[in-house]
Every structure is written in structure tokens, then in C-alpha cells.
Structure 1
Amino acid sequence: MKTVLAVLARFAVVSLGCVAAALPFGFARAEPASANPVLVIGGFDADRGILEDLRAELADRGYRAYSMVLPAAPAGSSGTEGIADSAAVVAGKVAEIRRTTGARRVDLVGHSMGGLAQRHYVKFLGGSDSVGTYLDFGTPNYGEPLGFLCAPLFPGCRDIAPASEFLQQLNTPPALPPGLPAYHLYSENEGPERLHLPGAVNTSVQQFCSGRHVTHRNEPQDAAFQDLIDSALRGGPLATDCPRQFFLSSR
């Protein structure tokens, strides 16, 4: 997202927040990008334009960045297939990226339901052996009540509904494989995604940019979220200079 307009929109106000793991802070984009390829995974009914904005931004910052949306059930949009089945598709995409790049590990950046699919992959499908950094953002790790609305129609909706069999299994301790570098980022303007993920560094964008309003849909294209994702992939510390918000139209 290095357009002239986006560059002009940035301003130099630095807001610092605190992270659950008490990491030090400081905006340090000068560090080299991770050597691992990065796979961005969209969520339920993912907006491909917004998803591409994040993938392109990471590519501009020096990453070998890829993106994917979750599979659709018949007559459904992306993410309507069962999340365990989606996790198997994530596994296949990671294997493809490793094969084509020669990389040993791939970093995962999953938005919303994409985070649930990638967590099933690292926890139950052997993904921890192939993943470098795990990051989800905007992910309702304990369920999204809106899933009940479409649960009669689609397996993915049934899986994301709170207390589903899928989520009970996924959240059986440990929530993440031990030793996996993991982050859970969220917006305080949203509900279920604010619940913390055990074993991860948990923080909201508002802990760095007080008063910032970011809807769930716009998280992948919010520049402060992009900064936090970038700094996490570089190994921390988490940091952002809280760029002015500028959202592109999509769809």
C-alpha cells in the first residue's frame, strides 16, 4: 500500500501500549524482514480486495507474501465449509509454498475464521513442524454468536458458533503447541475477538493507538494493524507509529 496518497497520509505521532508478555516497545521497521514466506488467510466471506491489500503491503515490506481464502460449501461463500476441512486446505497451501520456495517454515497470518483454520492445522495436522510464526487477528477463538444465524445451512457456521464441538476440541489445553511463537491481535471495537488466546502475546491495536476505531472488516487494511503484524513477523517488539486511517473501497 505504498501509494502516494497512503504515504502522504502518514503522520509522525507515536502511541505506545502494553502487551501481555511485557515486551519492550519501539518502532523498529529497520530490521530485516523474516526469511520465511508469509501466508495470509482470509476469514468467513473474506473480502478479497481487502485481503490483497494486506498481502501487497507485506510484499512491499520485503516479504514473500501469499494469500488464500477458505473453501466454500455448496451455495456458500468462503469459509462456509467445515473449519477442519479448511485447515486441510491450509496445510496443502503451506506445503505448496514450501515446495516452490524451498523454505523450511512458513509464517501464518490468519484473519477472523482464518485464524481458527490455521490453529487447527498447527495443533492437529502437524503444522507446528512447518510454521515459523503464528499470528491471528480479529479471530474469535471462543466463537462468534453470529455463527448461529447460518448454522442450519453451513458447516463453517456451526463450527464457529460458541461452544461448538469443533471449538471445544480446538480449545482443549494447550490452545497452541508449546514453543510456537504466537500472537493474537484484535480491535477493542469488536466483541468475541477480544478474548485472549492462551500461549500467545495478546494485544489490541488500541493499546498502541488510543481511541482508534477499527471495524472487524477493515482490520486487514488498517495501517496500524499492518505495522503490528510486520513487527511480530520480524520477531518483535510490537510497534506502530499509528498512521492515519485510509481505507480503500473493495468488492
Structure 2
Amino acid sequence: MTAARPIVLLAATLVITYIAAPLSRPQAAPWAISQAAPRAISQAAPRAISQAAPRAISQAAPRAMSQAASGATTSHAASGATAHAASQNPVLVVGGIRAEQKTLDKMVSALEARGFRASSVQLAGNPSGAAALPKSARVVAGRAAEIRKKTGADRVDVVGHSMGGLALRHYLKSLGGHKHVSTYISVGTPHEGDWLGLLCAATAQGCRDLVPSSKFLKRLNAPPPIPPGVRAFHLFSDQGTGEKNPLPTATNIRIQAFCPGRRVEHASELADAAVQDLVVSILHGGPPATTCPT
């Protein structure tokens, strides 16, 4: 057994090194620990003990490292995250009613900084979102088609803020968007409507579509709320109103469950760093995560 001790120490060092590294990467630390540690312990250590020879060191150590690394494909090391994102679907960010372009640009910039190919589009009408939501959905569909043609991607991922999330759902359900979208994320979207729509309902069809129980919402919320095959997530803030209603079949995420006490006003949700973290972690395919940056 004395010959096995250095190998046991080597296997243990590999495991400890691998577990410690992802702790600085919030998106995937839980997955990295749960997947890599048992695998490295169960595979590397017994092999080292049973063989207990120089040949075991040369064979087991590289194998342990490669197997542990394969279990951490969702941990996204800083050097690999950009490359991984670049291989992902392009991302389309859709604004809400009266969306400020500078707010959309902040989400686009956050995605681009992490390696994603990202762009944005405003809803139809003047101001944006004033037009009927089906018309806005056609604008979204056209922009998504342009992105797919330009990038050569088969599918896009979409992020819709407020009313933009409703236009995206119409695109998915009624305009064939489910064939071209992999992941749908709504941020602050009132999926059952919002009575605030009454404030502009007299002059804008988009606002009338937003009122709870409108004909548009009844059709939109008829089963299935999201077509099968599309990953769906809904992010909402305690400071919102209609956005707190869950989206059936989606993963519903309360921002303050990750960042207790954080104030995220509806109009600035896309510019919030914690929201950006959550969106990025979802687009990476991992569990929602954020460090709640200020």
C-alpha cells in the first residue's frame, strides 16, 4: 500500500483542484461539483490504488483529468465561455411598448461581451408597441428570418421584454416561429395582460391587446402557451405588476429569489446586471445564476 499513497494523493489533488476552480464561476459551480467530484473520486482513486505503479500514474492521471473536464462542459471557464457562446444560436432581443433603444442596447452589449451574436428589434407602431401585437409579431418574424439568413443559423434564441414577450409568443405559436427558435426568455412580460394597458387603449391597438382577457390574449393563452420543443423561461421582478403572473410550462424565475431586496424597476430590467447574468446563464444551457452585481 505504500506505493499507492502518492497516486491516491495525486487523484485527490486533481479532484480538489477541479472542484475549487468553478467556485468563481456562478453559472455552473453546483453542476461542476455534483458532476465532476463523484466521477473523479469513483474513477481515478480506485484505479490508482489498484494499479499502484508508475504506469498507473501516466495513464490514470490524464484520464482522470479528461473525464473530469468532460463533466464540466457547462461550467464555462472564462477562456472557453466566449468560444462556446460564439457557437450558440444568435440572439434576438425584442423591446416592449415605448422601449428605449439605449436599454435594448445594454442587453445586446452584455450578450456580445460574453461572445454571443446579438441584435435587437423594436415593436411595430409609433410609438413602438402601439400597433396590434400580431403586426409586431410579423416584424419580429421578419427580423428573425434576416438574422438566420445573415448568420447561416438554423435557429435563434429570443429575449423579449414586457410586451415584446407577447409578440414573440405570437410568433412562436401562429407564425411558425417554433420551427426556428430554441430558447424563449421573457423578462417582465405580463402574460395574462396588464390593466395599465387601459391608459393608452383609446389610441393604440397594442394597448387594447394588452388588457387582460382581450381577444388577443385569449387566443395566445389557449393551450399550449408555448409550443412543444421550445425551452421557455419567464423572469419577473417584485417591482412589476402583471409580470408576476407565471407562464405555464415555462421555468418562472423571480429575480429577488436570487438577489433578495434588489430593486429592479420594470423599465430598466434589461439594463440590470443581475437580469443579464440570468439571461446569459440560461442561454449557456445551464441553470439560472447570478452574482447579483451592482
Q: TM-score, normalised by structure 1?
A: 0.84
Alignment of 1:54 onto 2:112: no
SS in 2 for 1:94: helix
Instruction: Work out whether residues 133 and 233 of structure 1, in 8 Å CA contact, stay in contact via their aligned partners in 2.
Output: yes
CA RMSD in angstroms, aligned pairs only: 1.9
Alignment of 1:185 onto 2:238: no
What are the equivalent positions in structure 2 for 1:144-223 lying under 5 Å apart? 144-223=194-273
Aligned length: 220
Aligned-partner residue type, residue 135 of structure 1: I
What's the CA shift for 1:29?
5.0
Query: Aligned residue for 2:94?
Result: 41
C-alpha distance 91-179 of structure 1, shift in aligned 2 (>3 A)? same
Instruction: Work out whether residues 28 and 231 of structure 1, in 8 Å CA contact, stay in contact via their aligned partners in 2.
Output: no
What's the CA shift for 1:179?
2.4
What are the equivalent positions in structure 2 for 1:2-151 lying under 5 Å apart? 28-30=75-77, 31=81, 32-33=84-85, 35-72=88-125, 76-151=126-201
Instruction: Work out whether residues 182 and 229 of structure 2, in 8 Å CA contact, stay in contact via their aligned partners in 1.
Output: no
Q: 2: distance between equivalents of 1:150 and 1:219?
A: 22
C-alpha distance 29-194 of structure 1, shift in aligned 2 (>3 A)? farther
Q: 2: distance between equivalents of 1:144 and 1:168?
A: 13
What's the CA shift for 1:236?
1.7
Higher share in helix: 2
Instruction: Work out whether residues 111 and 118 of structure 2, in 8 Å CA contact, stay in contact via their aligned partners in 1.
Output: yes
Q: 2: distance between equivalents of 1:67 and 1:233?
A: 16
- Bigger relative contact order (CA 8 A; separation at least 6): 1
Q: TM-score, normalised by structure 2?
A: 0.72
Aligned-partner residue type, residue 185 of structure 2: L
Alignment of 1:224 onto 2:258: no
Unaligned stretches of 5+ in structure 1? Answer: 1-11, 15-23, 245-251
Aligned-partner residue type, residue 143 of structure 1: G
Instruction: Work out whether residues 69 and 78 of structure 1, in 8 Å CA contact, stay in contact via their aligned partners in 2.
Output: yes
Instruction: Work out whether residues 29 and 231 of structure 1, in 8 Å CA contact, stay in contact via their aligned partners in 2.
Output: no
4+ runs deviating over 4 angstroms: none
Q: 2: distance between equivalents of 1:190 and 1:29?
A: 32
What's the CA shift for 1:194?
0.7
Q: Which deviations, in whole Å up to 9, do the C-alpha atoms of 1:129-175 show, x marking residues without a partner?
A: 00011111100000011111211111100001111000010000110
Aligned-partner residue type, residue 216 of structure 1: H
Q: Which deviations, in whole Å up to 9, do the C-alpha atoms of 1:39-79 show, x marking residues without a partner?
A: 0000000011111011011011100001011011xxx3000
